[in-house]
Amino acid sequence: MVSQDFKVFADCGAYAGLGFIVMVNNAHMAMLPYIVPNFHWEGTRVITNKPVGGPYRGHGAPQIRFAAESQMDMIANDLKLDPAEFRLKNLVYAGYNHPGKQRIFSCGLKEGIEKVMSTLKWKERRGNLPEGHGLGIGCAGLFCGVKSMRHSGGSIVIEIGIDAGVTILCGATDIGQGAKTVIAQIVAEELGCRMEDIHITNADTGITPFDQGTFGSGVTFRAGNAAIIAARETKRKLLEAVAPNMEASPDELEARGGKVFVRGHEEKGIEFGEAVKIYRYAGKPTPIVGSGYYEVDAEVGWELSQKEGQFSPTYAFIAQGAEVKVDKETGEIKVLRIATADDCGQMINPLNVEGQLDGSAAGGMGMGIFEDLPHMDGQYLNASLLDYLIPSSLDMPEQMDSITVDNVDPKGPFGAKEAGEGVLVPTAPAIANAIYDAIGVRINDLPITPDKIKKALESKGGKA
C-alpha cells in the first residue's frame, strides 16, 4: 500500500461528552496495523438531536477498522490477491519507524495471521466451501495503556504482615476482566510467596493509592508494572534482613514458590513465613511495606490531536478469522466459527485471556450483525433490551478458537500487553468479509441484517 485517506464523521449527540477522545483514538488506530507511508485523516464531530454518544470497547477503533479492513478485502479482490496474503505483505513489525512517530516495540501479527490461516485451513477451504458459506479475515492494532492526562499511571502498596500474609492495596478497578487475579499473580511471582497468602483490596478510595482508571486497555500494563516495582522494594527489605542468617548477600538470595533460598541451592531454603519471622525478630519495622508507581511512557492523548507522537507505551495486535453461513432466501446469517490470534504479549493468566477473547468476539458479533439504534426526531425506537438486539448464547459460534501468539513485550509486566479490548475491533470486518466470500455482495454499513442482504442480492440480480 502506498497511501490511505480517511474522512470520518462522528455523531456525538447533543453533548460533547468523551467524543473528542474517541476521535483522537480513531485517528491513531487508523494508522495500525499496516505500513502506510502516506496517510491522511480528517475528522468531524457533529452535534445532533440525540442522546450523548460515548466510547464503546475499542474507543473509536472498531469503526475505523471496519472501514479499513473492508477496503483491504476490496483491494485484494480487485487485484485477485488472497486477502490474508495481501495483509501479510503490508504489516508493521517490531522496530518499525512509524511515520506517525508511534514506536512499535513488539508485534506478533504475522504469526497471528499465519496461525489463523492454519486453524481455518484457509488456503484449502476458501473458495471451495458449499454455497452460502464463506471465510473472512480482519486485523487490528490497539493501544495498551494510553496516557489520558499528565499524571497517568498506576500505584500499588504491598504489606507483609507478621503472619506472612501479603496485602495488596491497588487503586485499579476490576470490572470483570480479572485484574485482581492478574495483579495478585504478578506480586506472587515477584515476591516469591504463594497466591493463597495474598489478599487484595482495590478501588477503595479511602485507603488505596492513585490509579488512572480502568480504561485504555491499561490496568495490567500500568498496575502490573507498579506491582513489580512495589514487590521488588518489599522483597529487598525481606532479603536484606534474612541474608545474615543464610550466610549470603541479599543479591545471592531468591524468593520463589513460597521459599527463600541461596541461588542454585533451593533445597536448602527456608519457608517464606520463616523468613518473615526472622525479619520480625531482627527488630525491623513491621509490617514490611513497599510501594510502586508506574508512569505511562507516552504522549498525553489530547495533545496528540495536534501533533505526532507515541500514543501508547506499546500496542497489541490481533488477527481474526470468521466462517459464516448465509441463507440467500431469508438473508439470515449464522457465524459458524471465529478464530482469534491475539498478540497480547506474555500471557499471565491464559484462562482469563481466553475468556476475554471469547467475550470480545461476542461483542464484535453484536456490532457486526445485531446491534442498532434506529431513531426518529431524536428518540430511539429500541430503548430497552426487549428491542435492542445483542447476541445470546444461541447465536454464538459452535467453535471459538483462542490461538496463542508467542511474543514478549519489553515494556509490559513480565512481557504482557492488553488482552481483550482489541479483539472486538476486527470481528465485524472479518464477518463482513466472510459474508462477501459467501454470497458475493458487500454490505458497507453496520449492522449487517437479513434485510440488507436480501436487498443487496436483489439489486445484484441474485436470489433473495
How much of the chain, in percent, has pLDDT values that exceed 90?
72
Gap between the Cα atoms of 341 and 355, Å rounded: 13
User: 133, 440 in Cβ contact below 8 A?
Assistant: no
pLDDT value, residue 142: 94
pLDDT value, residue 463: 57
Q: pLDDT for 244-296, tens place per residue?
A: 999 899 999 999 999 999 998 888 899 999 999 999 999 888 899 999 999 88
Active-site amino acid positions = 421
Gap between the Cα atoms of 115 and 113, Å rounded: 5
For residue 67, how many other CB atoms are within 10 A of its CB? Answer: 15
* Residue 72, C-beta contacts closer than 8 angstroms, at least 6 positions apart: 34, 83, 86, 87
Q: Is the pLDDT of residue 360 over 80?
A: yes
Give the model's confidence band at 464: pLDDT under 50 very low, under 70 low, under 90 confident, else very high.
very low
Q: pLDDT for 96-149, tens place per residue?
A: 988 888 899 999 999 999 999 999 999 999 999 999 999 999 999 999 988 877
Sign of CA dihedral 18, 23, 24, 28: positive
Give the model's confidence band at 462: pLDDT under 50 very low, under 70 low, under 90 confident, else very high.
low
Gap between the Cα atoms of 138 and 112, Å rounded: 11
Which residues, in sequence order, are bridge partners of residue 140?
318
Nearest C-alpha neighbor of 259 from the set 193, 333, 342, 308 = 193
User: 417, 343 in Cβ contact below 8 A?
Assistant: yes
Nearest C-alpha neighbor of 457 from the set 317, 330, 350, 343 = 330
How much of the chain, in percent, has pLDDT values that exceed 70?
99
